[in-house]
């Protein structure tokens, strides 16, 4: 058994709200430097910088997980993580088609940059990636599973883009077995809500720039093997932590 430090919520320069200097390789390098064994890249509604992130993670000797922070039709943020890069890319293409055809306005929202694993900028996405997709929150868990991944709602304790704030309740029928809390969430938050009984929790840094990557890890998963299949299996477990 290995005790593996993880953070599964971060953004790169493809997210308009992230810094342009947060290229996938810079984020991967900082996660490694801070002592993480596992890190996921979860840009808004896109996995297209994940290949670069995974390569950079490999270079720095940590395990990269391809992911996305899906924005549902209800403006609820949902973290979707995948075992295979190819499945993440197929999911990304599917979500892209279900995004409204609204162009990004870089001066208002920020640039959406594609980067290679060496940090060079390879292009810019013109469609606005932070729009609400046409995918409903009741659809998200099944959809991610269909693409070989797993999904859970992000930062449920926050006011903006959170399941509890936007919908007002947790419903087991949505198919999520776990939920993410923000780093600032008080420890007793879950116990204050009856509808969260039996839900597993983890925390995500939601780092949009390097200084938001925690200086040292505070969460660990026990794995037999440090690989993506084991991480996804650990996330899918139904029993509480």
H helical segments located in the chain: 24-33, 50-60, 85-97, 106-109, 137-146, 163-167, 228-236
Q: Does 206 bind Zn ion (CB under 5 A)?
A: yes
CA dist., res. 128 & res. 119, Å (int) = 22
| Residue of 21, 5, 12 whose CA lies nearest to 51 | 12
> Residues 171-200 vs Zn ion: string with x where CB under 5 A?
------------------------------
CA 104-113-155 angle, to 5 degrees, is: 75
Q: Considering only 32-40, 92-100, 129-137, 147-155, which stretch makes contact with Zn ion by CB under 5 A?
A: 147-155
Q: Which of 69, 83, 157, 180 binds Zn ion (CB under 5 A)?
A: 69
72 or 104: CB nearest Zn ion: 72
Angle, helices 85-97/50-60, rounded to nearest 10 degrees: 150
**Count of residues that bind Zn ion according to CB under 5 A:** 5
Burial class from Cβ neighbours inside 10 Å (0-12, 13-18, 19+) for residue 175 reads middle
Q: Minimum distance between the CB of residue 3 and Zn ion, rounded to whole angstroms?
A: 26
69 or 223: CB nearest Zn ion: 69
Q: Does 77 bind Zn ion (CB under 5 A)?
A: yes
Q: Does 203 bind Zn ion (CB under 5 A)?
A: no
Q: Minimum distance between the CB of residue 90 and Zn ion, rounded to whole angstroms?
A: 22
What is the dihedral angle through the alpha carbons of 38, 11, 206, 225, rounded to the nearest 10 degrees? Answer: -10
* Interactions with Zn ion, residue window 3-62 (CB under 5 A): none
10 or 230: CB nearest Zn ion: 10
Binding residues for Zn ion, per CB under 5 A?
A: 69, 77, 154, 161, 206
């Amino acid at each position: 058994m290995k005790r593996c430090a993880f953070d599964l919520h971060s953004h790169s320069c493809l997210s308009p709200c992230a810094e342009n200097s947060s290229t996938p390789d810079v984020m991967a390098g900082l996660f490694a430097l801070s002592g993480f064994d596992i890190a996921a890249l979860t840009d808004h509604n896109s996995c297209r910088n994940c290949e670069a992130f995974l390569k950079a993670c490999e270079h720095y000797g940590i395990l990269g997980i391809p992911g996305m922070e899906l924005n549902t039709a209800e403006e609820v943020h949902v973290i979707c993580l995948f075992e295979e890069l190819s499945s993440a890319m197929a999911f990304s293409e599917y979500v892209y088609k279900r995004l409204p055809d609204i162009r990004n306005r870089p001066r208002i929202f920020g640039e959406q940059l594609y980067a290679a694993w060496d940090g060079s900028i390879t292009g810019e996405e013109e469609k606005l990636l932070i729009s609400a997709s046409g995918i409903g929150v009741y659809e998200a868990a099944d959809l991610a599973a269909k693409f070989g991944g797993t999904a859970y709602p992000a930062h449920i304790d926050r006011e903006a883009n959170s399941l509890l704030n936007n919908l007002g309740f947790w419903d087991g029928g949505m198919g999520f077995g776990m939920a993410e809390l923000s780093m600032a969430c008080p420890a007793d938050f879950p116990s204050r809500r009856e509808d969260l009984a039996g839900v597993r929790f983890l925390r995500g840094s939601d780092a949009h720039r390097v200084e938001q990557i925690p200086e040292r890890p505070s969460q660990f998963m026990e794995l037999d093997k440090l690989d993506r299949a084991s991480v996804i299996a650990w996330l899918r477990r139904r029993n509480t932590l």
